[in-house]
Amino acid sequence: MSDRGDAPAILDSTITCPECGTQRLETMPTDACQFYYECTGCGALLRPKPGHCCVFCSYGTVPCPPVQASRRSCGSAPGECTGTEKTRPGSADPIDG
Ligand SMILES: [Zn+2]
């Protein structure tokens, strides 16, 4: 009922796979956007729809925490909703496998 802006963000979002319809409750990271999500049902690699910053904004029941905090729809390009969406050093897949 409260309309205060300091309400804690909802961190649980149910992702629905557009390929097979599998739904799974996932906890969102608060410090970064999740750009990829692998469906637990069919293994499809989900990516955000055009204009969305993360898979939760596209396929989840709840938009990502940065979007909740800013109280706006997710219409920004990746990187504009948080400053930490870029791949962190050392976390990327090795290229010279
Ligand atoms: Zn699926």
Residue spans of the domains in the chain: they are 12-70
Centroid of ligand 1 to alpha carbon of 19 (angstroms)? 5
- Determine the distance from the C-alpha atom of residue 26 to the mean position of all C-alpha atoms in its chain, rounded to a whole number: 10
From CA 20, how far away is CA 93, in angstroms rounded? 27
Within a 10 A sphere around the Cβ of 52, how many other Cβ atoms?
Answer: 24
Centroid of ligand 1 to alpha carbon of 50 (angstroms)? 19
Centroid of ligand 1 to alpha carbon of 78 (angstroms)? 23
Q: Is 58 exposed, middle or buried (0-12, 13-18, 19+ CB in 10 A)?
A: buried
pTM to 2 decimals?
0.64
What does the pLDDT profile of the chain (97 residues) look like in tens digits?
556 556 678 899 999 999 999 999 999 888 777 889 999 999 999 999 998 888 999 999 988 888 888 765 565 545 555 444 444 444 445 555 4
Question: Are 59 and 40 in contact, with CB atoms under 8 Å apart?
Answer: no
